[in-house]
Amino acid sequence: MGAERHILILGGTTEARRLAGELAADPGFRVTTSLAGRVAQPRLPAGQVRIGGFGGPSGLARWLREQQVDALIDATHPFAGTISFNAARAAAEVHVPLLAVRRPGWVAGPGDDWHDTGSLEEAAAALPALGERVFLTTGRMGLATFAHLDRLWFLVRSVDAPEPPAPPRMEVLLDRGPFTVEGEGELLRRHRIDVLVTKDSGAAATSAKLTAAREAGIPVVVVRRPPAPPGLPTAAGPAEALEWVDSVLGRRRPVGCPPVPGPSRYGSESA
């Protein structure tokens, strides 16, 4: 197969960890996963890991050149936003093939009472008409958007402790998925939740709250995804991403290495 081919994975998701594990097992590849560093104790993937930003698209392009990267895979969270556009610009500048891993978004089903919004600001504006006790699962980064809602009570779940500004009436639950429908239902009952707020992450690991809300008859405010760079080859999950690597670089799967499962109804798992 010749010299090692270097693959950079922009990670932080379960898809990225699965890809890194599969590709790092192949002696023909050198795999580096880049993490943004927003989580204090991230789940580290196989292969090499770097943490922190690149300094915009020019910094990422420089890194791709210096590290002689042969292929770039953007497997970041659907709401990572800026890094995806930086990756598209950097890959085009240095002529490195780029794949975007975009897990399917959540789709409302029978019995769901979903209220789609285009931003956290729209979600905050919709809340007073929907409930008084809010289960907020949008992460700690946008908590300031809800800080002015002093008449509502919030149960905020995040991996790391949030920092102010934050809603004055708030309880913090530090936890990460996967979660179960039973556990989420008990959480809703115990805290008397009457409205759920979530980003459309499309992750199976965190989709149980949607089922629990439907069973409890609770409305769900869904923040839909921001725009992504157009015109890129995309994969719905690790299995399709590995096929892309096969077609672009060529790859031999090690004997005994199991295939990577595809996405579920709510997309692939992710934290």
Residue 189 three-state SS: helix
Residues 84 and 138 grouped into a single domain: no
Full-model pTM: 0.86
Would you state the pLDDT for residue 113? 98
Please report whether residue 29 resides in a domain.
Answer: yes
Cα separation of 155 and 135, whole Å?
5
DSSP string spanning 56-109?
HHHHHHHHHHHTT-SEEEE---TT-THHHHHHHHHHHHHT--EEEE-PPPP---
Residues 218 and 234 grouped into a single domain: no
Would you state the pLDDT for residue 262? 37
Residues 231 and 218 grouped into a single domain: no
Residues 127 and 195 grouped into a single domain: yes
Please report whether residue 33 resides in a domain.
Answer: yes
Residues 14 and 49 grouped into a single domain: yes
Residues 144 and 173 grouped into a single domain: yes
Enter the tokens of residue 165. 């500004």
Please report whether residue 254 resides in a domain.
Answer: no
Would you state the pLDDT for residue 2? 52
Would you state the pLDDT for residue 251? 61
Please report whether residue 230 resides in a domain.
Answer: yes
Please report whether residue 214 resides in a domain.
Answer: yes
Please report whether residue 14 resides in a domain.
Answer: yes
With beta carbons less than 8 A apart as the criterion, state whether 214 and 106 touch.
no
Please report whether residue 232 resides in a domain.
Answer: yes
Residues 219 and 233 grouped into a single domain: no
Please report whether residue 39 resides in a domain.
Answer: yes
Residues 176 and 208 grouped into a single domain: yes
Q: Residue 40 burial (CB < 10 Å; 0-12/13-18/19+)? A: exposed
Please tell me the total count of domains within the chain.
2
Cα separation of 197 and 218, whole Å?
11
Residues 99 and 156 grouped into a single domain: no
Would you state the pLDDT for residue 270? 31
Would you state the pLDDT for residue 238? 94
Could you list the residue range(s) of the whole structural domain that residue 145 is in?
114-223
Mean pLDDT by groups of 10 residues along the chain of 271 residues: 84 94 94 87 92 96 98 95 94 98 94 97 98 95 95 95 95 93 98 97 88 98 94 95 93 46 31 27
For residue 42, say if its preceding peptide bond is cis, omega within 30 degrees of 0: no
Residues 16 and 70 grouped into a single domain: yes
CATH code of the domain in which 205 resides: 3.40.50.720
Residues 34 and 124 grouped into a single domain: no
Whole-angstrom CA distances from 168 to 120, 152, 247, 260 are 18, 9, 53, 44
Residues 194 and 240 grouped into a single domain: no
